[in-house]
Amino acid sequence: MILTCMIRALRCAPVTRFARAFLGLTLMVCLAMGAARAEGALVGSCESWPAWESFKASFISDDGRVIDPMHADQRTVSEGQAYAMLFALIGNDRDSFDRLLNWTQDNLSQGDLTKHLPAWLWGLHAVPEAEQDVTDEAVSELASAAKQAELLPEGADVAPPEADEPEVEKTWGVIDANAASDADVWIAYALLEAGRLWSDPAYTAVGEKMIANIKRREVMKLPGLGRVLMPAPYGFVETKQRYRINPSYLALQPLRHFLVHTGDPVWQEVLDTSRRILIDAAPRGLAGDWVLWKTQSGFQADEKSVAAGSYDSIRVYLWLGMLHAADPDRADLLAHHAPLRSLLDVRGRPPEFIDINTGQTRGIGPGGFSAALLPFFSARGEVLPLLQQKIHMAMHSASDQPRYYDQVLRLFGHGWDQGRYRFGEKGSLHPYWEQMCGPNPIPFASPAPAR
């Protein structure tokens, strides 16, 4: 109630520098006090996670499918299944976790996650009637007749006959069978940690099989760079000298946990190259959605994404902000990406798009962007931009509501800010209920700002 009144007052105040400065400062103080009270209330509290319950009601079907309603195909992406599984684990919601896991396995992994990495895109798609009618047998018969008439040489192929404008029916299913490594990594990670936190080795076994498949199909040794987690099993090697990489897929927490869990030195190599990509591919300290590795000239901004830093790369700042204070790469990575603060507008709002070559910005990011930046500015000990992100989040809570991705960013960033979970030094997940819901609850300590 106080927050709502303050926002209205800020919007309706006379347009004078003093009035807005005073009301803005007052609002920041109110938000800081409210955040402190909220986090204090969380300590020792083991009730359900309200934001997670709201997300489930808005975006998850009864059988465990995460639906993005902003697309006409009512799509499900493997990334959404992965994040939802992690949130279910953070919320100690095993029933939802199992439904999400089962739907993912049955519909994206051909019924077996231990053998097949999930298809990244599933939804409603058109099936031309003509494609169903032209069977392999019909094509074979046509080829045989042509060969008998000496119209085709032996061994030649024949294409199906062209059809008139087909009648289109729609069906639910896989639209693109290629995998997405960020989803695969987070699903495997959620399974490993579910096995540990819920004391169920069945989850662990599936996670270990997935890690082996990720290593076999999505980790590639690039000339001059080393072993890299590629975005997918195929489609991102443009030539033998050009490779597309997505920095936001390189969350260090799960990768470090894979190293500790498996003891496989390949994951140390992946960690080392990931750190190099996060720094060297962002020479101005601004993360890009996509970058190119060229074996002859090194990193370059990606032309296909117009050198943009936006809806993908916002996660880079999120993952970095949530690194444990003792993580060996944390201080350097946070310092390298510090220039982001200079691109906030006069109200502290993050841009929607950044040209990572020039630093030019366009648009204002949604409230989910600000949520993703809460851990980042908290880790850097920057109080003013931290409070400004909370204001921006609060003022855009309604407009962000129907947007699946914005709500994902809010669950990650605001959930972390509330103390719902932390990552350990070696990448392990520590939800609030692990320590706080036992007989001797231990509150989370806030990580120290990077020096």
Q: What are the residue numbers of the active site? A: 79, 182
Pick from 57, 62, 54, 75: nearest CA to 103: 62
Query: Residue 72 corresponds to which tokens in the numbers above?
Result: 């006409």
Integer Cα distance of 221 and 230 in angstroms: 9
Contacts of 109 (CB under 8 A, 6+ apart): 115, 116, 117, 118, 119
161 secondary structure, DSSP code: P
Q: Residue 106 CA to chain centroid, in angstroms?
A: 22
Contacts of 346 (CB under 8 A, 6+ apart): none
Query: Residue 206 corresponds to which tokens in the numbers above?
Result: 């599936």
Backbone angles phi, psi at 70, to 5 degrees: -75, -10
CB 175 within 8 A of CB 126: no
Integer Cα distance of 229 and 249 in angstroms: 8
Q: Residue 195 CA to chain centroid, in angstroms?
A: 22
CB 81 within 8 A of CB 100: yes
Integer Cα distance of 317 and 375 in angstroms: 8
What three-state secondary structure class fits 422? Answer: strand
60 secondary structure, DSSP code: B
Integer Cα distance of 87 and 310 in angstroms: 23
Contacts of 224 (CB under 8 A, 6+ apart): 293, 295, 298
CB 431 within 8 A of CB 45: no
Integer Cα distance of 40 and 355 in angstroms: 40
Integer Cα distance of 372 and 340 in angstroms: 13
Contacts of 342 (CB under 8 A, 6+ apart): none
| Amino acid of residue 337 | H
| Amino acid of residue 254 | P
Integer Cα distance of 348 and 339 in angstroms: 13
